[in-house]
Structures are given as structure tokens and as C-alpha cells.
Structure 1
Amino acid sequence: MTEEDEQAVGRVLRSGRFTSASSGEREIAGLEREWARHVGTGHCVAVSNGTAALSVALGAVGVGAGDEVVVPALSFIGSAIAPLHLMAVPVFADIDPVTFNLDPAAFEAAITPRTKAVVVVHLHGLPADLDRITAIAARHGIAVVEDAAQAHGARYRGRAVGSIGAANTFSLNVSKNLATCGEGGLITTDDADVATRATMLRQFGELIPADGDRSYVAHLLGWNCKPNAVQAAFTRSRLTRFPAEAAVREENVGRLLGRLASCPGFLVPEVPRDRTHAWHILRFRVDPAAFDLADAFAGPLRAVVQRALRAEGVPAAPYQLQPLPAQRVFTERRGFGGGHPGDVRSLPGVVDRPYRAEDYPATLRVLDDSFTLQKAHLHPEAGPLLDRYADAFEKVWEHRDALAAVAATTAHTPHWERASRIADAEWSAAFPGR
């Protein structure tokens, strides 16, 4: 937090204009204008949070009830529940185990005549293979919606992520590389009609002028996803420092990964030559062969190595415990289905497809043999700390024989099985006897 951030917030408080419904409000429009310029798109629409951004963006490109939306099996839950908010059907596709992003071949295999859009998540900050994905989508008439919630500032073949799809989304959650003081989201597009529809969807379907009286006429079905002017001003202040912070983060992470080149048992993130990484999260995989173990020991080896790193002070931890299609909102139809009037399966032509974790082997393998360092530990001022993390990785690698011996005799429960038990306990505590 800087003095400039505080001054930006104070500016809003003195103005008395706090949301996009406030006539004459300037901070939200200012953020939209500045982020569109930063990304290189013609339009930007601010909303209340990143998940709302996805729902609004999908609605703005025409996704509706009964349509199918392809989503990668590994991501944050927001990527997959956004289609449900439109009564659309999420259809999952497996990931590439190197980039952790949507596998283009799996995307194409998931397409049906009902596929309306694909949510392309740039997971951890690395852009997905947009050339192949957009080419496939174009052949089938499918809208591409980039989910760049973790990838602010990343570039693909010289273009900023969030400038390539029909509509693209960012999160401004306090955990993100470009954050606000709470929640926020941004939608970018070059299509003026998509931008207009997104602006209407964020506020009850109304067309609200920048200045003048509000008509209160709902032209279409919308939500209440208005952005907050205080948070917009805070983000505008952060945006002035964002490029410099990103450059320092790149230097710090590059130094850490460079040192880990001497520890071949750790498979570090790979960045193809045609793109850059925003370094929101670092995901490391373990290589059993480098520890003289069979491939079957990948899971227990990751668990043992993770414990050793944590003992040395490295906050190694999983990111996501199960594939999205294993989440109970999908497997047990707790967000759609169940026979209620809004059951999408009752719509003509909708296929009642099963959701099974085992259908996504690459996602399962990555979840079992990897751990992460997250954004809080990659802050631009964390360079000296990352150097000490590198010391810890090297120490753990030096003791690889002892760790391998432990892994070979350790009982192991994969993340997704443990998550299922956690879910059982949480549900029973919240709803005893049900």
C-alpha cells in the first residue's frame, strides 16, 4: 500500500460517486479506458469480480440456456461455474501436462453441434496455445473467451493476452498480480456490440449514460454486477506501478528457476519462445526417474518432497485438489439438474453427460505429482526470499536418496480422494443427517 493508493481512494470518497450508476462517476470509466489501452483492445467493461466477468462475457457473445461451453479440467472453479449461471452446460477437456493449459486436441474432441464457446484459461500466468485453439474455434463457429484472471501482462506472439478472443476477462481479486482492495473484474473486446451488451448485462440490462438521468428501462435480462469506484481508483493507482513490478518479478523468478536447473528431479515451468509468463503461480512437478524411482511413485514422491521443502521453510502447497469435473456441483448436479424447473437437462437436445475424474488423465497426473508457490511468495520485493527458497530446493535435492527411500514405502492418497473426504465432512457438518 502506498500513499498514492490512499490518495486515489480518498479522491473517490470526496467525490461522493461510488458505482457505475452514479451520474458523472469518472474512476470506473478511467480504469476501463486505461486497461483497454494497456491490453490493446477497443473496449473494456469493468464488473464486480472475475467470475462475474466470465458470466457477463459469455452472455455478451451469445451463450444461453442449453448451449455447451468447453472448459479446461484444471482451473479455479469460477472458470466452470460461469456457464452454469447462464444455464449453459460445461463440457470439460483435458490439459497439456507441460503448459497446464487446455490441450487443443482435447478441445476439438469435446466439440459438439451445441458448442457455443470455449473458455481458454491462461493458468498460472502462461498463455495457452491460442493459435491452434482459435483456428479450431473458427472452423466450428465457436466464440473464444480468454480467462486471463492469472495472466495480467502476459503476451502471446507479441500480443497481450486478453486481446485475442471475442471477449476476454481478468480478475482484480486482492490475490492477483494486478489487484484491487477487494474484488473486481474486467472484460476486454474489440467488438463494440459485445462491449455494449456486456455493459447492459452488468446492470439489469439497462443502458445508462455517463452523464444525465437514468431511465431504469431493462432492455434485456441482466445482473447486478456493478463495479465499485473505490476499487477502480485503487487499481488505477496500482496500474501505474504494474509494468515495473512485472519486470522485477520476471527477474526474481528467472533467477530461482535458473538455480533449479542443477536439480533435475524438479520439473520447472516451461515457457515457449512465442509467449511470456506473468508468474502468478509457479507449479513444479517431480520426476521419479531422477530419484531412481518407478513412475508409479510420482504421487508419494511429490508428497515427501513437499514435506521436506516445507520443513526447510518453503511454502510448497497444492493448487486445486481435484479436476473441475470431480467437483460436486457437477457430479451431483448441485448447480443444475435435479429435476427442478431450471434443469438444463430438460431442454430440447441437451445431452446428460457424466462427469468423471478418470476421463482427464493428464489433469490427474499433474495434480498428483506437482506442488506450487503462489503469488503471495512471488511479490516483487521477495527476491531475497526466493534465493533462500533456491537454497532449500538444492538441499532437498542433495538428500534425494533418503527421500526416495521414504517415498517408496509411504502410503499415499491422491489429492482428489482426499478432497472427496474433506467434502463429505464439510457437507455433514453444514447439513447434519442429509
Structure 2
Amino acid sequence: MSKLAVLGGTPAVPRTQRGVEWPVIQDEDRKAVLDALDGGRLVSDTDGETPVTTLERQWAERFGHAHCVAVTNGTAALQLALASLGVGPGAEVIVPALSFIATGLAPLHNMAVPVFADIDPVTFNLDPKDVERRITPRTAAIIPVHLHGAPADMDGITDVARRHGLAVVEDAAQAPGATHRGRPVGSIGDMGAFSLQVTKNIPTCGEGGLLVTGDAGLAETARRGRQFGEVIESGKDRDYVSHQLGWNHKMNGLQAAFASAQLGRFDHYEQARQTNITRFLARLDGLPGLTVPKPLPGTTHVWHILRFRFDPAAAGLPGITDTAFRKALRRALRAEGVPMSQYQLMPLPDQTAFRDRLGFGRGYPWAALEPSAEHVPEHVPADSRAEYPVAHAVIRDSLTIQKRHLSPTSGELLERYAEAFEKVWENLDTVAKLAGARS
């Protein structure tokens, strides 16, 4: 039995093999950016074909979307989607209790109230049954998140939405290329939002986002919304007339050019990821007390983040709490060279912005739901563990791997990661002592 690195043994992952970078930047990416810079068509309101319109067309063609609107980032895409659907003051929007904070902030940006629902313990996505019990007469929309690249239960969610007359905006920020029953995520609801932020499976050189829809009217509303409410028509001079509430959510040409170059290599990268990651997960799947990520039947997971759940009792350590076990495993695996980390330290409803109802001040937009009150309490004390037990449990007993596995060359590194997991599991008695010391 090998000695754990945390106790002075040799790490399973040599330091010389830990340097896999993401994103992969090649000469064609640099050329694309320089060509865009030299071309002088750097913003999306330029007449004619631009790097932005090229990216919109290429994305729509590759993933089967009827309409694609490029914006500044994924958060802007979510906010603009809700605005295009008319979701605003006095409305509630149901979002998952576990997600990146942008999912909950997007309704607030439109003066709507986020209402949180619990998640599925396997996919970590919205639980349709919990969504339904949180619907009120004020509910206007649902935002399912395809978290970590795993498609949500869109059959269940769209069924709930259809029966209650609700809009569906898919947060597909982490899931380009994922499919649900053969359909690309983002195209199943009324609108879908993607992020091109530099850590994503298809990145740009910084920030970027895309909004997709099958409805031409919604697409046109979104295009006006990203450009101050103006109508930009090819071949016509800009008139600077705002026809609706708008923002400055335009993507610049350099970001679009870089993303287009990355999109051109996506199929190759995705094929390599599927091979590397499924082999890695299959190797870990039999370790007692470890649950590896798995997609729903009939879906394609694109593995943006790998989340692992740990059960000390199933690992043969019934006297250890799940939190202590998770902390001890994180310490041991990181010492072996596996960069285990937490993704989200608390459920969204526990974030200060939502818990204290900071919003726009004086309790808004929550106060808009209570017109007889001058304002709602600035702080809403609550123990959310009873309301969102699954989200709390997942945060308490899980760790993630991020970014390193996205490179098409990560296969060998993932093999070393698997060796590290196996080594740690061979030393669970030592892990139990570490857990006892840290519990």
C-alpha cells in the first residue's frame, strides 16, 4: 500500500504532469482575432457581415437553432431573454437552488423575484416536482439550468410549464453541445442562454454570451434590446430611435472571432472529451462511497464540471460525518495532485443578495409583490436546509474537478487522477483519521 502524499508519500500525479491548460489557444485563434482587428468591423451594429454575425450564423447552423443573438455575456443573455418574454415587476421566476449566482440575479435585473426550487440528487438540476409546488399566480417563467453540462429533466419541466402557461428560459451556460432526446439544449424552451466566458467548453478570449430561440419575433425583440431598443437594418443609416427598453449588451468583434475559431474545433475537442472523461469515470465508478456524475437516459452530458458525491457510511466509515469525510478527501486528493474544489459554497437562497433582499433598495423587487407595504424587511431570517434539503446535501458531501479535463490532451492526466483516487481509497483508514482530526 502506497503512503499518502498528505503524510509525506510520493504524489500519484507528478508535478510535471499537472500543467494542462484551458482554453487551448492556437495560431488560428490569434489569426482570427488579428483579422477581425484589421477588418475594422468591431461591433455588432456595423452594417453588413461582421465577426459577430458570422458567429451567430455558425452557432445556429452547428447546434440547430433557428435564431442566435450574440451579447456581452451569459448573464446578459438570461436577463435579455426574460425581458424579451415580458417578465418584469410583479412576476416570479423559478430557478434552481444550486447554480451560479447569475441564474438568480437575471430575474432581479428585470425587477422580478427569483423563487428557488430544490434539485435532483443525481443530475443536480431542477426537480420538476419541487418546481410545481412553488408555482403561484405570480409565476411567469422557469429557468432550468443544465448544470455542469448535464441536461435537466426537460420533459418534466416543459410539462409543468405547459400546464401552468409559463415561459421556459434554458440556462445552458455550461452545456453547449449537450442534447436531450436528440434535441440541443437551449432549443427546447422558449429561449436559451449560453456563456462563452473563457472557462467554458467553447470559450472566447474573455467574456461573451449567446441567446437562441426558435421564435423570430423574440429574436428581433432581443436584438433591439441589446442595442438600446433600436432597430438596426442592413443598408440603412442608424436613426438612434429607441422603440423599447434596451441596454448596451453588444458583443465585440474580437471576442466573436476568437469564439468562431474555437467553435471550428469543438467537434474534435468534444469527441476527445467524451472518450477521456467516460473512461476516467468508469474507472472510479466502483469505489465504495463514491458517486460519479451520470447523465439522464436519453441525454448527452458534455462534462463542463465533474461533481463527485461522497458517502462515508457506504465507504465503510459510518462514524464519520459527510462534511468531515469531504474535507479529508479534499486534503488527501489535492496532496496527490488532483485539484478537487467546491463549486458553490451555499445554495443560492442563502446568498446575501437574496437572503437579505438587497435588490434595488427598500426591499425591491420583493416589495412589488406586496403593494400595501412601504417596504419588505431588509433581512429575511430563515434556515433554508428544510426548504432545500437536496441542494444542501450536495454542497455538504461533494467536490468538483474543473477546467483541467476540458483539454483534448487530458487523457493521460485523467489516468493519473484515477490512480490518485484509487490510492486514497486504499488508505481510507488514514482518511478516517484525517476526518476525525478535522471534524
TM over 0.5: yes
More displaced stretch, 101-110 vs 208-217: 208-217
Provide the residue aligned with 1:115 in structure 2. Answer: 139
Residues 30-429 of structure 1 mapped to structure 2, 5 A cutoff: 30-294=54-318, 297-338=321-362, 343-347=365-369, 354=380, 356-358=383-385, 359-411=387-439
Provide the residue aligned with 2:20 in structure 1. Answer: none
Change (3 A) 1:350 1:262: farther
Matches of 1:299 and 1:397, distance apart in 2: 17
CA drift of 1:292 comes to: 2.1
* Identity in percent: 54
Matches of 1:188 and 1:347, distance apart in 2: 30
Q: Secondary structure at the match of 1:262?
A: coil
Q: Which amino acid aligns with 1:19?
A: V
CA drift of 1:106 comes to: 0.8
CA drift of 1:347 comes to: 5.0
Q: Is contact 1:152–1:278 with CA below 8 Å preserved after alignment?
A: yes
Q: Secondary structure at the match of 1:301?
A: helix
Change (3 A) 1:88 1:154: same
Change (3 A) 1:114 1:296: farther
CA drift of 1:261 comes to: 2.4
More displaced stretch, 114-123 vs 32-41: 32-41
Q: Is contact 2:65–2:213 with CA below 8 Å preserved after alignment?
A: yes
More displaced stretch, 34-43 vs 155-164: 34-43
Matches of 1:289 and 1:370, distance apart in 2: 15
Matches of 1:178 and 1:50, distance apart in 2: 13
Change (3 A) 1:350 1:327: farther
Matches of 2:93 and 2:365, distance apart in 1: 17
Q: Secondary structure at the match of 1:41?
A: coil
Q: Is contact 1:314–1:392 with CA below 8 Å preserved after alignment?
A: yes
CA drift of 1:9 comes to: 1.1
Query: Would you tell me which structure has more helix in proportion to its own residues?
Result: 1
| Structure 1 unmatched ranges of 5 or more | 412-434
Normalising by structure 1, what TM-score?
0.91
Matches of 2:311 and 2:290, distance apart in 1: 6
Q: Is contact 2:320–2:435 with CA below 8 Å preserved after alignment?
A: no
Q: Is contact 1:66–1:350 with CA below 8 Å preserved after alignment?
A: no
Change (3 A) 1:350 1:13: farther
Q: Secondary structure at the match of 2:321?
A: helix
Q: Which amino acid aligns with 2:154?
A: L
Q: Is contact 2:118–2:127 with CA below 8 Å preserved after alignment?
A: yes
Matches of 1:350 and 1:187, distance apart in 2: 37
Matches of 2:161 and 2:167, distance apart in 1: 7
Cα deviation, 1:317-365, whole Å, max 9, x if unaligned, reads 10010100101011112223425xx554145569969565322111111
Q: Secondary structure at the match of 1:120?
A: coil
Normalising by structure 2, what TM-score?
0.90
CA drift of 1:296 comes to: 6.6
Q: Which amino acid aligns with 2:39?
A: S
Matches of 2:35 and 2:78, distance apart in 1: 29
Q: Is contact 1:172–1:185 with CA below 8 Å preserved after alignment?
A: yes
Q: Secondary structure at the match of 2:285?
A: helix
Cα deviation, 1:78-114, whole Å, max 9, x if unaligned, reads 1110100000000000111111001111111111111
Matches of 2:190 and 2:89, distance apart in 1: 19
Cα deviation, 1:128-174, whole Å, max 9, x if unaligned, reads 00001000000001001000000010111011111111000000000
Q: Secondary structure at the match of 1:387?
A: helix
CA drift of 1:409 comes to: 4.7
